[in-house]
């Protein structure tokens, strides 16, 4: 068995004296583990860092085997991700989210989305907006997509302001006003309200994280008996401090 693919490094653990088991998010073969012989060498250690993009060849006798990787570097951005606290949090958030997907199931859109987020990791405000979009896409991939494009009550696509915490559907201002206290805020930059000329505030970004976090918690974390990544909590906390 053999295939070639583009891949994002998610994590590495030592194996024996010289090798490493590498966890990758590949474009066409999903999240996939493999052995890299000599993965602990001086040459390979800088390449096998979380956040780097690589070209990979996977080989194994049978498809269900762990197999081993042949690695070629592509875009080595791990060093730049280490320069800021928010960037380090970003790669850890993405890795934790991608681990929610079934191993070896192809999710090319999530691979592409993760790389877009990492390409903007140097700017916390842009990155925050992209992480929220990534979490919306993740919910969709897991079968818990939200309907944010029209009001669940009236069907209108205008004046969408809230989201029902139960149904995950948008609610317009007129229909939702009586129940505003129990609804989740739908920020301006979300699908259904987005506008390229609207400046996104940190308050709206935090509202976006609250929205996606609610549905991740209810539909993913609690059923799997896990909790949100600590790095996500820290990223949001740092975001809130920017206005203090």
Helix, strand or coil for residue 13?
strand
Tokens for 164, please give them. Answer: 């029902």
User: DSSP assignment, residue 118?
Assistant: H
User: What is the CATH T-level fold of the domain 2-80, as seen in this structure?
Assistant: OB fold (Dihydrolipoamide Acetyltransferase, E2P) (2.40.50)
- 10 Å CB burial of residue 179 (0-12, 13-18, 19+) is exposed
Q: Give the tens place of pLDDT for each residue, 23-41.
A: 999 999 999 999 999 999 9
What token pair was written down for 140? Answer: 């969709």
Residue spans per domain, the chain: 2-80, 85-241
Sheet holding 169-172, edge to edge: 147-151, 169-172, 160-163, 184-185
Residue 206, pLDDT score: 96
Is residue 56 helix, strand or coil? strand
> Which of 66-75, 152-161, 194-203 shows the lowest per-residue confidence on average (mean pLDDT)?
194-203
Least Cα distance to 4 among 63, 78, 54, 61 occurs for: 54
Contacts of 78 (CB under 8 A, 6+ apart): 9, 46, 49, 50, 51, 52
pLDDT of residue 242: 74
Given this model, what pLDDT does residue 195 score? 55
Least confident among 80-94, 130-144, 188-202: 188-202
Query: Is the CB of residue 28 less than 8 Å from the CB of residue 19?
Result: no
Burial of 16 (0-12, 13-18, 19+ CB in 10 A): exposed
CB 30 within 8 A of CB 106: yes
Share the mean pLDDT of the chain: 93
Q: Is the pLDDT of residue 235 over 90?
A: yes
Q: What are the structure tokens assigned to 166, written together? A: 């139960």
Fold of 85-241: de novo design (two linked rop proteins) (1.20.1440)
Residue bearing tokens 């956040």: 51
Give tens-digit pLDDT for 210-229: 999 999 999 999 999 999 99
Q: What is the mean pLDDT of residues 68-90?
A: 94
- CB-based contacts of 213, cutoff 8 Å, min separation 6: 135, 228, 232
Q: Is the per-residue pLDDT at 59 higher than 80?
A: yes
Residues 6+ apart with CB under 8 A from 102: 30, 31
Average of pLDDT values for 84-107?
96
Picking from 47, 148, 128, the residue whose alpha carbon sits closest to that of residue 87 is 128
Check: CB of residue 19 under 8 Å from CB of residue 68: no
Helix (H) or strand (E) holding 241: helix 230-241
pLDDT of residue 193: 63
Mean pLDDT confidence for 90-109:
97
- Is a pLDDT exceeding 70 seen at residue 100? yes
Mean pLDDT across the stretch 225-235?
A: 96
The β-bridge relationship of strands 30-36 and 2-15 is: unpaired
* Per-residue model confidence as pLDDT tens digits over 176-207: 999 999 999 999 888 756 554 567 899 999 99
């Amino acid at each position: 068995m053999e295939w070639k693919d583009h891949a994002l490094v998610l994590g590495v653990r030592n194996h024996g004296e010289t090798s490493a088991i590498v966890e990758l998010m590949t474009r066409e073969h999903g999240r996939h583990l493999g052995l890299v012989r000599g993965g602990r060498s001086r040459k390979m250690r800088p390449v096998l860092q979380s956040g780097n993009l690589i070209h990979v060849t996977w080989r194994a006798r049978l498809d269900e085997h762990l197999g081993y990787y042949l690695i070629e570097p592509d875009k080595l951005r791990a060093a730049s991700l280490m320069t800021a606290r928010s960037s380090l949090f970003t790669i850890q958030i993405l890795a934790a989210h991608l681990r929610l997907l079934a191993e070896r199931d192809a999710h090319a859109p999530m691979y592409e989305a993760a790389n877009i987020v990492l390409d903007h990791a140097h700017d916390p405000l842009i990155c925050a907006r992209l992480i929220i979009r990534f979490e919306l896409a993740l919910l969709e991939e897991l079968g818990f997509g939200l309907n944010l494009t029209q009001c669940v009550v009236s069907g209108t696509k205008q004046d969408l302001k809230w989201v029902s915490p139960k149904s995950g559907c948008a609610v317009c201002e007129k229909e939702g006003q009586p129940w505003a206290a129990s609804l989740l805020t739908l920020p301006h930059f979300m699908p259904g309200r987005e506008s390229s000329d609207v400046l996104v505030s940190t308050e709206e970004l935090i509202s976006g994280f609250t929205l996606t976090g609610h549905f991740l918690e209810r539909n993913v974390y609690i059923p799997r008996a896990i909790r949100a990544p600590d790095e996500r909590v820290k990223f949001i906390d740092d975001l809130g401090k920017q206005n203090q």
